[in-house]
Chains A and B, each alone.
Chain A
Amino acid sequence: MSNEPIIKITNLWWKYEGKKNWALKNINLEIYPGEFIAIVGPNESGKTTLAMSMNGLIPNNYRGFMKGDVIVAGMNTKKYSTGDISKKVGFVFSDPESQFLTMTVEEEIAFGLENLGLPVEEIEKRIKWAMKITGLSEEFLEKPPYELSGGQKQRVAIAAVIAMKPEVLILDEPTSMLDPIGKTEVLNVLKELKRSYNATIIVIEHRLEDIAPLADRMILIYNGEILKDAPPKEFFDDIDFLLKHYVFPPEAMVYIDKLRKFGIYEGSIPLTFDESVKVVRESIRGITK
């Protein structure tokens, strides 16, 4: 990872016009190239606002009051439009339905690439690449995106954004409006992106059990403030703190935390279910010996 942050947020405050409270309060954050960041927090805590401030939608497309600076890939969001920033930052919205702009999957993926002014051959290559990485077969190309299943729609939305090969990819609750199958499909795409897509990925997500093993860092935002910013192992070290701020870790983690409190287990909180099973098995062995 480079020493220079790709996103640098300094003393950021943001208040929507007509609102009494600040949506973001004194946010200071540095994100480095190649990092996979998970942002978590309860509803209305400022997660989406923070995400939108990283691609320029805030302050360019929303009315409000801003203090501080957001520098993304060398561009200050106060000085560059969202369109300009979009060359560096891709944004996938939570509602797959509302982000479609065209009538076929092919047009949808090509839309951003056409805006970048890329040659036709390059667009063709990138469409194929984006379809492959998101697990969409070529038979989808001619289909209207709004006729697909929820998971397929969100995969098309991700393909449309990653085809532009942004240095930073932000996904705002990409699974929140999907059924369990759709959620699994999108999470598989996130795994694939983490494995093969060399970019900074920022995901706002409620499904902690799925996102924690992928994340390099996890950020807890609560009431407009960053309360915790740590690698996953450290992030889940204080389960009570998370619960107090309405972040609900997976049941397996809570269970292991209880084992720790009872003095049965002394290590760190495992991030995956399989690791948890292993910990429980070893703990039981320790008791029965």
Chain B
Amino acid sequence: MSTSNKVVKMRRTLLGYLPLESPMHKFHPLIKTFFLLIVSAYPLLIDPPEWNLIGALVMIIIFVIASVPLRILKYYTAIMLNIFWIIFIAYTFFGGYMPGYHIITKIGPIIISWENIMIVFVIYLRMFFAILVIIFFLSVARERDVVVGVRALKLPYVIAYIVGLAFRSIGLSIIDFNTIREAEKARALDIKALPLAQKIKKFGMYIVPLVALALRRTDEVSNALESRGFKFTGLRGYKRTDYIVSKYKFQAKDYVAVTVMIGILALILYLKYFTPYMSLHNSILLKILSRFFGVKT
């Protein structure tokens, strides 16, 4: 049996690590921000669930092409299933009834209608696609990409800086949270052993030291900012250099990527507003499901 000694160099991202050889590193950071903004709009505009399902499948192919480990999706399976059950229960049992709805069955006062089940599929597959887009973005983007993306959009620096500082604050809050938990453990408090109600109460109690530490950090960060010549009101007399953004150049592949993303968006808008293809009445998946439930629409 042979074993491979190949070391895969990774780069840290918002959600984990991405191999250095991933093609995503070759794109301008702004492309990743655009990806999130543009592609996450697709499911919001698409009604037929099969289109969103195709979108989700395409996303999984993109995961593979981008060398994002698919096991990352495993961690979110439970969340996705929970979302499905919440939507399913909320709409199927408590979705309400309107005259003209196709009744499938009645459980006491609860009417289960085809229209509500249809909404479950429409909403869930829309969310499924959108969640995959977000997971992909978080798996390939670094904090730096987001900051560079915002700065490349030529927004005022203070906005870019607040975005960066927000990431920094999350990191610091996690460190503080872990410190508090370690301190509790050191004094023999094992939160894992507590019942749920006690756990919730304990988490509430974390807020006081976390806020106190955050306030102290605010003071320290503010001092560090001032000591390094930063002014929220803008610099006097000269322009702030954008060194980090200058390290990235928009290349042909970046233009192609933006064009493809905007092109697909335009196509979806066209199909939705100028053709019947995006109508729920023409949804093949819904037709199959309606036959399954014995509903004539």
Contacts and interface: CB of A to CB of B under 8 A. Distances in A.
Interface stretch (B63-71, B224-232, B285-293): B224-232
A98 B221 contact: yes
Interface string B146-161: 0100000000000000
B241 interface: yes
A106 B12 CA distance: 15
A116 interface: yes
11 contacts: A57-B226, A99-B220, A103-B164, A112-B228, A113-B241, A116-B229, A117-B238, A117-B241, A144-B12, A146-B172, A164-B228
Interface stretch (A81-89, A194-202, A245-253, A262-270): A81-89
Interface in A57-90: 57, 60-61, 81-83, 86-87, 90
Given A101-B224, A103-B168, A164 B147 contact: no
B142 A114 contact: no
A42 B11 CA distance: 44
Interface in A96-138: 97-104, 106-107, 110-120, 123-124
Contacts of A160: 228
B190 interface: no
A152 interface: no
A83 B220 contact: no
Interface residues of B, number: 35
Contacts of A99: 220-221, 224
Contact of B227 (A82, A107, A142): A82
Contacts of B235: 115, 117
Nearest to B148: A107
Contact of A61 (B143, B165, B223, B231): B223
Contacts of B242: 114
B224 A104 contact: no
Interface string B225-261: 1111111000100111111101000000000000000
A223 B147 CA distance: 45
B175 A97 contact: yes
Contact of A57 (B147, B165, B227, B230): B227
A98 B224 contact: yes
Nearest to A86: B229
B167 interface: yes
B244 A106 contact: yes
B144 interface: yes
Contacts of A83: 226, 229-231
Interface of A: 55-57, 60-61, 81-83, 86-87, 90-91, 93, 95, 97-104, 106-107, 110-120, 123-124, 142, 144, 146-147, 160-161, 164
Contacts of B228: 86, 101, 111-112, 115, 160-161, 164
B171 interface: yes
B282 interface: no
A107 B240 contact: no
Given A98-B224, A101-B224, A112 B229 contact: yes
- By secondary structure, the B interface counts as helix
B185 interface: no
A124 B243 CA distance: 8
Contact of A104 (B144, B220, B226): B144
B126 to A, nearest CB: 32
Given A114-B244, A116-B229, A117-B240, 11 more contacts: A82-B226, A83-B230, A91-B227, A93-B224, A103-B167, A107-B244, A114-B240, A115-B230, A117-B239, A120-B241, A146-B175
Contacts of B279: none
A196 B34 CA distance: 46
A144 B147 CA distance: 14
Contacts of B246: 120
Interface in B121-180: 142-144, 147, 164-165, 167-168, 171-172, 175
A111 to B, nearest CB: 6
A239 B27 CA distance: 64
B221 A101 contact: yes
Nearest to B226: A82
B166 to A, nearest CB: 11
B217 interface: yes
Report which residue of A103, A119, A120, A164 has the largest number of chain B beta carbons within 10 angstroms of its beta carbon.
Answer: A103
A57 B241 contact: no
A98 B243 contact: no
B198 interface: no
A81 B217 contact: no
A101 B164 CA distance: 8
A98 B147 contact: no
B220 to A, nearest CB: 4
Contacts of A101: 164-165, 168, 221, 224-225, 228, 230
Contacts of B143: 103, 144
User: Which 7 pairs of residues, A with B, have the shortest CB-CB distance?
Assistant: A115-B229, A117-B238, A98-B220, A82-B226, A103-B143, A112-B228, A86-B229
